[in-house]
Structure 1
């Protein structure tokens, strides 16, 4: 039988109307926030980083999710590891937040020392009968999907992560993200609930009015429109665009580049969507003039006309282009604060100032992320108001939001709420 807390959340879930945004409490309440962490960040697969975050043996970086701390590192055998940032002695944190280089993992408290594969190698003054073999750092279940690191903190991780792996293996291969490098990173704290951050990213209804830099290369029609609201000339233009889109997709696929839309967003555990999007204007990259930011293309790429390989997850969004990639990770901090960590990736041998200009590389998504942060804050402030009531999604432009809200309700119920 559900406890009182769960029943209270269940009432909110029951109150959600199909085709509408969520009841206010699902965005604002602390008990819901804690349930969200347990269900969506501790029981599902989440994106946490990249193999190229730790390019050399001894490279390590810490990812904190609420009270849980993980270490992503590369060991002496050049293998990726993800371990809990908790000493097996008395629980001290081993590494501080951020990135570092280590030869071993040494707990600062009592100097318990672990090899980079997590094995305990030194525990002073514990006696001859102390068995070090059972005190390795706790390993975390992870998958590297084309160089993107997904972890699951559950003892029973969803098996349909295989669907994501199968879908993205060929799509990501030409970009060779494992051998890219992080050219730049920014952390933005949005003043709103993590679900608002994800909802905002899953629609472009707001793009033309709020993202002038992005709209140079983004085509908002690709995210839906109401044909009856268009003039005959604009409707004809939209029809011509989608005819061209279908032809371009067919040509890409004929050339061996998977491009068609994959929707894995309802009646599933691992939520994702992928599609190769056309880039507007010059058609090369998401920059202020839609031309490539880096003359050295990513991985094995030889073409700049392959659009934007787009990948959504329930805590991430990613754009892979011929010259660079942009990845964003979402980590909830509280009901009203969300971390958005964005990274720009280039070829591992690309040199700043020679092969790419950092300002051109980062300008569009720096501006877009700041604009989105303001929109999320405005949305959250309105939801806190007693006048808020869930509003209808546009069936033309916000269908992905309805899918996300429906999936959210499904997964909460599957976990007993």
Structure 2
């Protein structure tokens, strides 16, 4: 078994990806048998080219900054590996005397993690492999939730609340806010946390788990316009019709990487054409995963915990697992980490369950908001209206 450890980041970053990196680094330093701590520069590509960053002696002040730095401080990628490249990875690790590998990422990265683990078993390579979950989309299976989601949920909830205050002050249009989420509506649904009983909150929410009907959407908006002049609607970027065809053609597709068309602008234009009412689209995009000011403290702490747990497990000889969270208590909120077989995670997408979506398909249930609320790390900004 090699004495060095390697960290590999994969997929889209989050506001707390570096908190998991921090947790891993802090834990690895506690184990004297670990000589070097490496990170693959810019993900798998860096590993395959032998471009590794030595993280063993990073100054403490820079380590602490990781907790409040969004993105990936070592770089990430969405590269797809060919079968032969897994063998190449094994050889590179042997040359660097690396016996422990931690993959941090979402569904695609956990698939890579599982495939590499199986390749190591087949080759009888003495390398332990563990996955650290990371995704704003919250679509990784076998865990109550994933690090990265709580901060994205806080961002969308706070941002929607602010837009609702703006629209309440000048209620002259329908605003369509587009949230991230390819096939899973977890981020879109979190906008419901903006509701504060003071009239601030989204009027309608549409998730990709339900087929989207443009005519029903227009009817929903038209019904609200009978009693309100300003409306806020939150929609998922991944909305599809009953035939599972995106309501707006994607701009670019490459495997699992999809650049969606502008759903918010499309629906705003639909309102204008069909109802003759002023409408506009808004799309936070990357802002929703990169905001440190709206980072969830709970998310940050749990991301660090995931890094620590993974590092301890892999050094203690455990392999072929991913760190997951089990909710031990709802009120007070309490979670406990555990290890799940990587086979139960690999490209197994977790979508919103039916009990979290309202009967009309244009909102969420109280069961969802109760589940989600603890993850955003405290109350949103208090607001007031005399209108």
Q: Decide which structure has greater helix share.
A: 2
State TM-score, norm by structure 1: 0.26
State TM-score, norm by structure 2: 0.28
Q: Decide which structure has greater strand share.
A: 1
